[in-house]
Amino acid sequence: MRKYIIASLLILVSNVVLAQEWGTVDKNKVTLKEIAPVWAGCEDQSGAGLQKCFTQKLTQHVVKNFKYPTDAYKSNTQGRVTVEFIINTEGMVEIKNVSGGAPSLQAEARRNISLIPKMVRPGMYAGKPKAIQYTVPFDFKTGK
């Protein structure tokens, strides 16, 4: 009897944990959540912590790999470039659109995003891999 109760509690706890990860069930309504792709170093996170870790790693990547194009800097070329991309079901970046700013600034923004490493796990939805779209703005300002 004791083993039965312990087994029942383990099943109940695992169902609650899984429900929080992929969504919730309330009466007859099921709410599913997108789960962010997993960067290396974020594997131990879940839920909101995983999303926060993804955002932090993306920001670190953009800052670390940012290079103002030399010619654009010298000619005081400034502007905002927006890069729309997805992390596909394989965990790889696919750039969908680059807009705004001069062509040299667009090329730098594209280069930066294309250097994002393969994710440990792709985004998930309802327990299945899902391509998840992101938009990252780049503000190029020379300060001159």
On whether both 46 and 116 belong to a single domain, the answer is yes
On whether both 49 and 103 belong to a single domain, the answer is yes
Q: Are 123 and 34 in contact (CB under 8 A)?
A: yes
Q: Are 22 and 126 in contact (CB under 8 A)?
A: yes
Count of the separate structural domains present in the chain: 2
* The pLDDT of residue 25 is above 60: no
Q: Are 131 and 122 in contact (CB under 8 A)?
A: yes
On whether both 14 and 55 belong to a single domain, the answer is no
- Which of 90, 88, 140, 131 is CA-nearest to residue 112? 140
- pLDDT for the residue 45: 81
At 32-89, the pLDDT tens digits run: 677 889 999 988 887 788 889 999 999 999 999 999 999 999 999 999 999 999 999 9
On whether both 55 and 16 belong to a single domain, the answer is no
- pLDDT for the residue 32: 65
On whether both 116 and 97 belong to a single domain, the answer is yes
At 117-143, the pLDDT tens digits run: 999 999 988 889 999 999 999 999 998
HSE of 7, CA atoms in CB hemisphere, 13 A: 4
On whether both 18 and 44 belong to a single domain, the answer is no
- pLDDT for the residue 13: 35
DSSP H or E segment with residue 120: none
